[in-house]
């Protein structure tokens, strides 16, 4: 049987790392009919928009996609294609494992955390009002009236919606993941001491969901305290579940604990559709240099194989990655002790070394 999978190369370093992942998946022998679709800067050049309808339609049809990173202009320009895709396809759960592998610059040995980030709500909902615009002034007046609090008139406003529906399904996802993967504990992370209603609702809902999973330990932690605890004693944790923004920040922190963005994989999962991508961005300064680390994308492909229930192929590919990292010979510059080590290999060559280790 051959799987139809949408392949979105992305921009910046995206095409190089996604090609490396495709090479490794093909080398496992799992038959895939890769259907290429574009998004980001290349899509603007061809279609005049960063996320063409046909790209979204391809993912909807195939239900599985793998995507290289895509540039998001800061403060202005087009809205994040990544966020748009997650919202358009209702990929509400972002799964980001943070696992230490021998041979990397992991700060801890044998760390194996899983971050489950809500993907559709919170300050990422994209509901924003620009400073000095008439609608912003109107909104400020309305809020002042309703809340009896003053807001400076030259403020910009971002809205943070958190629903019981969104909180319930993400916390349930975290517990279901824990159950399927023999995990012992789920920690819900929040700032409900300050945001009593939005984060408060997330926390209240998490407590309710937790009651249905008596075999799995549940605990709660305030996000700032969690940031410190993760740096000092990350092994106290197992599965973390967070609203969107905290999930974004804490998953990068966890990527840092296990050796950096070059090895941090991710998946965006909905009830029917799943899209796999590295945590890192498009690192534009390295574009086209065949230099960056393909591991994060290849491990994202491992998550994809697990999602397809191609467990043997997933294990073989993950083991091949482990061996190459442990040997430390055919690895990119960022994995060498000295980043200027002339024996570092390129993106493609590291992927080829991983293919050679497949057993
Ligand atoms: P980035 O992750 O692209 O790069 C930050 C730094 O991390 C790089 O300069 C590089 O030193 C290192 N790095 C990243 N990936 C690496 C790899 N594979 N191998 C070795 N080193 C690697 O973050 P940024 O510079 O903040 O963002 C660049 C662009 O990417 C922005 O437009 C941002 O919005 C976008 N972005 C996209 C996604 C996505 O597509 N899912 C995710 C994050 C950021």
Q: Where in the chain is the domain with CATH 3.40.50.2300?
A: 112-121+162-257
- Average pLDDT value for residue range 353-359: 96
Cα 15 from Cα 17, distance rounded (Å): 6
Sorting pLDDT into bands at 50, 70 and 90, what band is 74? low
Sorting pLDDT into bands at 50, 70 and 90, what band is 229? very high
Q: Is the CB of 298 under 6 A from ligand 1?
A: no
Residue 34 class from Cβ within 10 Å (0-12 exposed, 13-18 middle, 19+ buried)? Answer: middle
Place of tokens 């997933």: 314
Residue 317 pLDDT greater than 90, yes or no: yes
Q: Is the CB of 52 under 6 A from ligand 1?
A: no
The residue whose C-alpha atom lies closest to atom 4 belonging to ligand 1 is 283
Residue 79 pLDDT greater than 80, yes or no: no
Residue 316 pLDDT greater than 90, yes or no: yes
pLDDT tens string 176-185: 999 999 999 9
Yes or no: say if 322 and 101 are a contact pair by the CB < 8 Å rule: yes
Q: Is the CB of 280 under 6 A from ligand 1?
A: yes
Nearest residue to 300 (alpha-carbon basis) of 10, 2, 1: 10
CA of 146 to the centre of ligand 1 (A): 41
| Residues in CB range of 210: below 8 A, 6 or more apart | 171, 175, 186, 188, 216, 218
Q: Is the CB of 205 under 6 A from ligand 1?
A: no
Q: What percent of the chain has pLDDT over 70?
A: 98
Q: What is the 3-state secondary structure (H, E, C) of the chain?
A: CCEEEEEECCCCCHHHHHHHHHHHHHHCCCCEEEEECCCCHHHHHHHCCCCCHHHHHHHHHHCEEEECCCCCCCCCCCCCHHHHHHHHCCCCEEEEEEECCCCCCCCCCCCEEEEEEECCCHHHHCCEECCCCHHHHHHHHHHHHHHCCCCCCCCCEECCCCCHHHHHHHHHHHHHHHHHCCCCEEEEEECCCCCCCHHHHHHHHHHHHHCCCCCCEEEEEEHHHHHHHHHHCHHHCCEEEECHHHHHHHHHHHHHHCCCHHHCCCEEECCCCEEECCCCCCCHHHCCCCCCCCHHHHHHHHHHHHHCCCHHHHHHHHHHHHHHHHHCCCCCHHHCCCCCCCCCCCHHHHHHHHHHHCC
Q: What is the CATH code of the structural domain delimited by 112-121+162-257?
A: 3.40.50.2300
**283 CA closest ligand 1 atom index:** 3
Residue 126 pLDDT greater than 90, yes or no: no
The residue whose C-alpha atom lies closest to atom 42 belonging to ligand 1 is 281
Residue 24 pLDDT greater than 70, yes or no: yes
Q: Where in the chain is the domain with CATH 3.40.718.10?
A: 1-92+265-359
pLDDT value of residue 39: 94
Sorting pLDDT into bands at 50, 70 and 90, what band is 125? confident
| Residues in CB range of 155: below 8 A, 6 or more apart | 131, 136, 140
CA of 283 to the centre of ligand 1 (A): 4
Which tokens sit at 314? 């997933």
pLDDT tens string 232-257: 999 999 999 999 999 999 999 999 99
- Average pLDDT value for residue range 291-307: 97
Which tokens sit at 92? 């509400």
pLDDT value of residue 62: 98
The residue whose C-alpha atom lies closest to atom 11 belonging to ligand 1 is 283
CA of 54 to the centre of ligand 1 (A): 26
Residue 261 pLDDT greater than 80, yes or no: yes
Yes or no: say if 247 and 117 are a contact pair by the CB < 8 Å rule: yes
Select from 43, 69, 126, 264 the residue to mutate for testing ligand 1; criterion: most ligand atoms less than 8 Å from CB. 69
Q: How crowded is residue 129: how many other Cβ atoms within 10 Å of its Cβ?
A: 16
pLDDT value of residue 80: 82
Greatest C-alpha distance within the chain: 67
pLDDT value of residue 251: 93
Which tokens sit at 81? 């294609």
Residue 122 pLDDT greater than 90, yes or no: yes
Sorting pLDDT into bands at 50, 70 and 90, what band is 75? low
Q: Is the CB of 281 under 6 A from ligand 1?
A: yes
Select from 253, 261, 344, 346 the residue to mutate for testing ligand 1; criterion: most ligand atoms less than 8 Å from CB. 261
Sorting pLDDT into bands at 50, 70 and 90, what band is 76? low
The residue whose C-alpha atom lies closest to atom 27 belonging to ligand 1 is 281
Residue 162 pLDDT greater than 90, yes or no: yes
Yes or no: say if 161 and 198 are a contact pair by the CB < 8 Å rule: yes
On average, the pLDDT of the chain sits at: 95
pLDDT value of residue 72: 80
Query: CA geometry: angle at 180 spanning 175 and 184, to 5°?
Result: 60
Residue 174 pLDDT greater than 80, yes or no: yes
Residue 93 pLDDT greater than 90, yes or no: yes
CATH fold, domain 1-92+265-359, is Isopropylmalate Dehydrogenase (3.40.718)
**Whats the size of the chain, residue-wise?**
359
Which tokens sit at 315? 């294990």
Nearest residue to 99 (alpha-carbon basis) of 218, 268, 266, 339: 266
CA of 253 to the centre of ligand 1 (A): 14
Q: Is the CB of 16 under 6 A from ligand 1?
A: no
Q: What are the residue numbers of the active site?
A: 124, 191, 224, 248
**293 CA closest ligand 1 atom index:** 19
- Average pLDDT value for residue range 254-275: 95
Q: Is the CB of 293 under 6 A from ligand 1?
A: yes
CA of 261 to the centre of ligand 1 (A): 8
Q: Which residues on neighbouring strands pair with residue 113, listed in sequence order?
A: 98
Cα 67 from Cα 199, distance rounded (Å): 31
What sign has the CA pseudo-torsion 10, 15, 20, 23?
positive
CA of 284 to the centre of ligand 1 (A): 8
């Amino acid at each position: 049987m051959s799987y139809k999978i949408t392949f979105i190369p992305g921009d910046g370093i995206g095409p190089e790392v996604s090609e490396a992942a495709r090479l490794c998946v093909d080398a496992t022998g799992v038959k895939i009919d890769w259907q290429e679709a574009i998004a980001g800067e290349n899509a603007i050049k061809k279609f005049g928009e960063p996320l063409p309808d046909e790209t979204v339609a391809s993912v909807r049809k195939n239900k599985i996609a793998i995507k290289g990173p895509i540039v998001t202009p800061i403060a202005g320009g087009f809205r994040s294609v990544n966020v748009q895709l997650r919202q358009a396809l209702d990929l509400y759960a972002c799964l980001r494992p943070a696992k230490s592998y021998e041979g990397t610059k992991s700060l801890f040995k044998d760390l194996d955390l899983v971050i489950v980030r809500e993907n559709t709500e919170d300050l990422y909902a994209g509901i924003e009002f620009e400073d000095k615009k008439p609608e912003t002034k109107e909104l400020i007046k309305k809020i002042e009236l309703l809340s009896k609090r003053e807001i400076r008139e030259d403020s910009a406003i971002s809205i943070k919606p958190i629903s019981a529906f969104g909180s319930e399904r993400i916390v349930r996802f975290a517990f279901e993941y824990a159950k399927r993967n023999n995990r012992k504990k789920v920690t819900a992370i929040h700032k409900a001491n300050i945001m009593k209603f939005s984060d408060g609702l997330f926390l209240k809902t998490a407590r309710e969901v937790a009651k249905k999973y008596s075999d799995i330990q549940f605990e709660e932690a305030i996000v700032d305290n969690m940031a410190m605890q993760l740096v000092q004693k990350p092994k106290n944790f197992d599965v973390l579940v967070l609203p969107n923004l905290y999930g974004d920040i804490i998953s990068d922190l966890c990527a840092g604990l296990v050796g950096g963005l070059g090895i941090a994989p991710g998946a965006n999962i909905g009830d029917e559709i799943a899209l796999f991508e590295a945590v890192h961005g498009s690192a534009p300064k390295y574009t086209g240099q065949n230099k960056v680390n393909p591991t994060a994308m290849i491990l994202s492909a491992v998550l994809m194989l697990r999602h397809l229930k191609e467990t043997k192929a997933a294990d073989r590919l993950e083991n091949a990655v482990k061996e190459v990292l442990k040997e430390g010979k055919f690895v990119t510059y960022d994995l060498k002790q000295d980043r200027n080590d002339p024996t570092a290999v390129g993106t493609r060559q590291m992927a080829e070394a991983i293919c050679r280790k497949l057993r």
